[in-house]
Amino acid sequence: MGGSDTAIFLQPQKRKYDYLQTMRLIPHPVLCNYYVTYRCNAKCGFCDIWEKPSPYADPGTVAINLRHLKKLGVKVIDFTGGEPLLHRQIDTLLGLAKEKGFLTTLTTNCLLYPKWAEKLKGKIDMLHFSLDSAYKSEHDRSRGVACFDFVMESIDIAGSLGERPDILFTVFEHNMDQIEAVYENICLPNDLVLILNPVFDYNSVNTGPSLSKESLDKLTHWGKKTGIYLNEAFIQLRKDGGNHVTHPVCKAGSSTIVISPENKLVLPCYHLGLREFNIDNDLENLYHSEEVRKLIALEGRLPECEGCTINCYMQPSFAVEMNRYWWKALPSTIKYNRIKGTWKNMLKT
């Protein structure tokens, strides 16, 4: 994130946004990124979270926070990490969220899914299996551990249980040519949605060269195919140079609540993490406190926010405010929700 070339594109951006009126549609947070642990059993080269020491989220504390998240208007709980299946009571945490009427989502590298599959059945609305190549050697090298075979096994197990996981494909310049093989050889035969997740830069993590315009155009082409989900607003944002502090699209603080394994509210987002506030069983009042509100007001406007394209926070940002990115995201959002049927569950929450 960040950059020193703001002045170069400031005027073009100003002209662009002069005719792009925005309107807040949803005034409250819609998503909670709940980090149940920072620990991970993989060592992905494009991630640094696995390097962090970490406790595990306490189920009793999670239950209290879920009550407060419901009052705050949150609809979706993303139990994340690290590797969330390292939490020995992850099934309990998911069960608590489902009892409260939340939509749940979880992404796993699949090393532990075969052991958990039976206990997780029916508790995850959007289950994602990470897979970045159709070839074992390439995927295992990317993840730093031998997990390709576990993904294949997990697909079979999930299918036998009536579960329909999605394949989450993190797209780099070097694996663009793998999309077709993953789609044709893995997703179509198993009737699985392929989610294309463009890589993003953050902190000092080296994620390789930025996706070229040619690659972005190829992704747009892939996103139009049956059974593939690509948020087209991600592509447009990258073509626009990411978030701009003068006209921020990022609504990380007001659309998303981030809770750490230590039970702290992290602001303005996990990746920036400028401040952490002890929740102390009072998340609702903490979120509405003057100190927190002042920090939320800076979302997308901090120097570090310039050029940011972090999907984790842009996706909910696109959902709460009507602007050019909302319209770009709408067709793919409708497409995914029709395939998965999650819109029905959303109406119940």
Q: Does some domain include residue 10?
A: no
Q: Quick one: pLDDT at residue 200?
A: 83
Q: Does some domain include residue 17?
A: no
Q: Does some domain include residue 1?
A: no
Q: Does some domain include residue 161?
A: yes
Greatest C-alpha distance within the chain: 56
Round to whole Å and give the CA distance between 35 and 61.
13
Q: Does some domain include residue 21?
A: no
Q: Quick one: pLDDT at residue 236?
A: 96
pLDDT tens series, the chain, 349 aa: 333 332 323 333 333 444 345 799 999 999 999 999 999 988 776 676 666 778 999 999 999 999 999 999 999 999 999 999 999 999 999 999 999 999 999 999 999 999 999 999 999 999 999 999 999 999 999 888 999 999 999 999 999 999 999 999 999 999 999 999 999 999 999 999 999 999 887 666 666 678 999 999 999 999 999 999 999 999 999 999 999 999 999 999 999 999 999 999 999 998 888 899 999 999 999 999 999 999 999 999 999 999 999 999 999 999 999 999 999 999 999 999 999 886 555 545 4
Q: Does some domain include residue 16?
A: no
Q: Quick one: pLDDT at residue 26?
A: 95
Q: How far is CA 183 from CA 99, 131, 178, 275, in A?
A: 34, 11, 9, 41
With 0.75 as the threshold, say if the pTM is over it: yes
Q: Does some domain include residue 14?
A: no
Round to whole Å and give the CA distance between 130 and 167.
6
* Residue 348: partners with Cβ closer than 8 Å, 6 or more residues away: 101
**What is the total count of domains within the chain?**
1
Q: Quick one: pLDDT at residue 270?
A: 87
Domain containing residue 124: 26-348
Round to whole Å and give the CA distance between 315 and 16.
21
Domain containing residue 104: CATH number:
3.20.20.70
Q: Does some domain include residue 11?
A: no
